Amino acid sequence: MRKKFIGGNWKMNKTVVEAQTLARRLADRLSDVGFADIAIFPPFVDLYPVNIILREKESKIILGAQNMHPEPNGAYTAEISADMVLSTGAKMVVLGHSERRHIFLETDSYINRKVKKALDSGLLPLLCIGELLDERNAGKTEQVLSKQLNGSLKDVKLNSADDIIIAYEPVWAIGTGVTATPEQAQEAHKFVRKVISEMFGEDIAKNLRIIYGGSVKPANAKELLSQLDIDGAFVGGASLDADSFESIIRDSDISI
């Protein structure tokens, strides 16, 4: 059984004080949660201050960064290395988010370098993939997902399914209020698992967590999370508010 994973991508939101306030609230409310892994991804400047709160509260919430640079150090103004991310207390890193791909023009081969560096450094990557609306309408969803997976994970060595988490985030569903239907999401997740099986073998594919992102909110979380191949959610807007993020997390408890 794959344990559910619920991530909150705060994107470019929350000052240091705001981030600490939200982290404190989440740590207090979610201390009883054992049925799912919970992670939050604040902006870089908030990572260390948020880590202080999570440690103070002895919280199990996992801390992650939203990006990193593949090189270990050097003249890369405004970039952040894997070791710098780790030094804040973060254990995970989001790579290949659609906003990085489409606004900042990151390519699969660049993302591939980051995935390898993250794994080498001991950071758990949360790799994001997803098609544009035009690509879906042209019937190219599977082709796009396959290309992104093959490109981003080229020559990557996975020792176990716990080495990486994949987020399927259809670009047309991100921040738009339009969610993929549970059937559309399930179909894409099943396909992703098939590609992973071809690349890394059945055992890894069976145990790897594939989470869904794109306008997940309390009103639609339960149905999405009950699909066979949907192992969690990657939540943007609704993770900025403790009430809605908590509600989504509690909806991932399939025992009730």
- Say if CB 55 and CB 84 are below 8 A apart: no
Nearer CB in complex with ligand 13P: 200/234: 234
Q: Which residue is nearest to ligand 13P (CB)?
A: 236
Closest CA to 221 of 239, 240, 195, 201: 239
Min dist CB 74 to ligand 13P, Å, is: 28
| 174 near ligand 13P, rule: CB under 6 A | yes
The residue among 149 and 204 lying less far from ligand 13P, judged by its C-beta, is: 149
CB of 160 to ligand 13P, least distance (A): 24
Q: Least distance (Å) from ligand 13P to the CB of residue 86?
A: 21
* 153-172 positions binding ligand 13P, by CB under 6 A: 169
Which residues, 6 or more positions from 125, have their beta carbon under 8 angstroms from its beta carbon?
A: 92, 93, 94, 95, 114, 115, 118, 119, 164, 165
Cα-based torsion angle of the residue sequence 8, 86, 148, 42 in order, rounded to the nearest 10 degrees? 20
**167 vs 204, beta carbon nearer ligand 13P:** 167
Between residues 43 and 213, which has the closer beta carbon with respect to ligand 13P? Answer: 213
CB of 254 to ligand 13P, least distance (A): 21
Cα 6 from Cα 27, distance rounded (Å): 14
Nearest distance, CB of residue 99 and ligand 13P, angstroms: 7
247 within 8 A of 235, measured Cβ to Cβ: no
d(CA 79, CA 56) in angstroms, rounded, equals 29
Q: Which lies closer to ligand 13P via its Cβ, residue 42 or residue 214?
A: 214
Q: In this structure, what DSSP letter does residue 121 have? A: H
Catalytic residues: 97, 169
CA atoms within 13 A on the CB side of 16: 5
Q: How many residues bind ligand 13P (CB under 6 A)?
A: 14
Question: Which CB, 204 or 213, lies closer to ligand 13P?
Answer: 213
- Is residue 237 near ligand 13P by the rule CB under 6 A? yes
Q: Could you say which residues in the range 177-236 bind ligand 13P, by CB under 6 A?
A: 213-216, 234-236
The sign one gets for the Cα dihedral 81, 85, 86, 91 is negative
> Which are the contacts of 24, defined by CB distance < 8 A and separation ≥ 6?
53, 57
> CB of residue 175 vs ligand 13P: minimum separation in angstroms?
4
**Residues 87-106 vs ligand 13P: string with x where CB under 6 A?**
----------x---------
Of 9, 67, 141, 152, the one binding ligand 13P by CB under 6 A: 9
Distances, alpha carbon 172 to alpha carbons 19, 77, 169, in Å? 28, 32, 9
Site for ligand 13P, rule CB under 6 A = 9, 97, 169, 174-175, 213-216, 234-238
